[in-house]
């Protein structure tokens, strides 16, 4: 297998990009390194002349860009999504630097799509957006001025992905089938429902319980079969607590 093929499996997801010029520059940055799959979540303006101008010939990527209504749609079917940040985060996921993150992504790309997720220009990714990703990838930067341009951040990640290719010689695809984004979202919903019906989680004051669960399971990179096992147990529990809790819950 030609290792360049792996780059086709890498989605670049821009969440709420506000400057169309950055979308064009992103397409160009991607194409120089051999990436091709661009997803735009709620772009302020697209298509746009500025985007075309800055794409400098990478128009195929702009034309094929998928415009999505929300991040879930853009991540549908992926087995690993990396939230890209230039600042360290509180309650962070497993954190990789750009180089190690690129390797981690390619390791998973042999099986199914993976994604790089970039936040909006002014404020980056929201906590909710980060929580939909399984890892955080940190681009090392000047702590006194970490204001990386959006397309420049894409350029660095695309470059690291390309640099990570030749070292794939020893790449042994994981034998088990990874759970994808959709499997995981269903698991989280199920877990939350059971936590609430058990009385453990108060939906009026959820604190950060689900965030913590997402962080934990994101680290584990679940397999499809593991998700099925967990959900099987959750269903049995749900059934078990249905009768005695019903009256209490309805109070």
Assess contact for 9 and 70: CB atoms under 8 A: no
> Which lies closer to a copy of itself via its Cβ, residue 72 or residue 167?
167
> Which lies closer to a copy of itself via its Cβ, residue 80 or residue 156?
156
> For residue 17, what are the contacts with CB-CB under 8 A and spacing of at least 6?
23, 26, 40, 43, 44, 46, 120, 121, 150
Residues in touch with a copy of itself (CB under 8 A): 25, 28-29, 31-34, 56-58, 86, 92, 95-99, 138-142, 145-149, 151-152, 155-156, 159, 162-163, 168-171, 174, 194-195, 197-201, 209, 212-213, 216-217, 219-222, 225-226, 229, 232-233, 235-237, 239-245
Closest CB 223 distance from a copy of itself, rounded Å? 8
Closest CB 138 distance from a copy of itself, rounded Å? 7
Assess contact for 31 and 24: CB atoms under 8 A: no
> For residue 121, what are the contacts with CB-CB under 8 A and spacing of at least 6?
17, 18, 19, 22, 150
Closest CB 229 distance from a copy of itself, rounded Å? 6
CA distance 142 to 109: 30
> Which lies closer to a copy of itself via its Cβ, residue 72 or residue 174?
174
């Amino acid at each position: 297998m030609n290792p360049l093929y792996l780059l086709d499996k890498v989605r670049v997801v821009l969440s709420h990009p506000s400057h169309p010029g950055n979308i064009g520059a992103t397409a160009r940055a991607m194409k120089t390194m051999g990436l091709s799959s661009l997803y735009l979540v709620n772009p302020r303006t697209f298509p746009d002349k500025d985007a075309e101008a800055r794409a400098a010939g990478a128009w195929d990527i702009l034309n094929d860009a998928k415009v999505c209504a929300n991040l879930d749609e853009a991540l549908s079917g992926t087995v690993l999504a990396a939230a890209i940040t230039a600042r360290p985060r509180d309650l962070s996921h497993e954190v990789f630097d750009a180089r190690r993150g690129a390797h981690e992504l390619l390791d998973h790309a042999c099986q199914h799509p993976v994604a790089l997720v970039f936040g909006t220009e002014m404020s980056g990714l929201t906590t909710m957006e980060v929580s939909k990703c399984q890892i955080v990838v940190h681009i090392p930067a000047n702590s006194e001025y970490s204001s990386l341009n959006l397309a420049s951040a894409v350029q660095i990640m695309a470059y690291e992905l390309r640099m990570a290719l030749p070292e794939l010689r020893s790449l042994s695809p994981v034998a088990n089938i990874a759970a994808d984004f959709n499997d995981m979202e269903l698991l989280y919903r199920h877990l939350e429902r059971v936590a609430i019906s058990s009385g453990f989680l108060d939906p009026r004051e959820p604190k950060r319980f689900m965030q913590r669960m997402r962080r934990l399971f994101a680290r584990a990179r679940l397999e499809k079969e593991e998700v099925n096992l967990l959900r099987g147990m959750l269903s049995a529990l749900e059934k078990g607590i249905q009768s005695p809790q019903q009256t209490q819950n309805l109070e």
